Structure 1
């Protein structure tokens, strides 16, 4: 795992938080919720990909 992954997740979190606040202030709560969910899905997909890589490495180390 690299430090870049942490920075990417933090950047996505900051962008989603700013967009969420802007949309809430303009009275678009539904779009704010969808933006938050989209950000969460993107981060979860990144984490699932990294976990998949982890399992692949563990399999190759133990010869499974």
Structure 2
């Protein structure tokens, strides 16, 4: 288990091992989730990481606006 210390400016450094494992980049944004007494940092993916995610998607059986309720 890795340990970090909260600085006087209330900052925490993410250890190199974790940054490499998650491929974190300088300036990347995180969502902060508080649950009970636990803080979770969730990296927000960049819009570029979604490029090509729908490539080859089947769009032939998509409902038309007239079929919506």
In which range does the TM-score fall when normalised by the shorter chain?
under 0.3
Q: Which structure has the highest helix share of the two?
A: 1
**Which structure has the larger Rg?**
2
Of the two structures, which has the highest relative contact order with CA contacts closer than 8 Å and spacing of 6 or more? 1
TM-score, structure 1 as length reference: 0.23
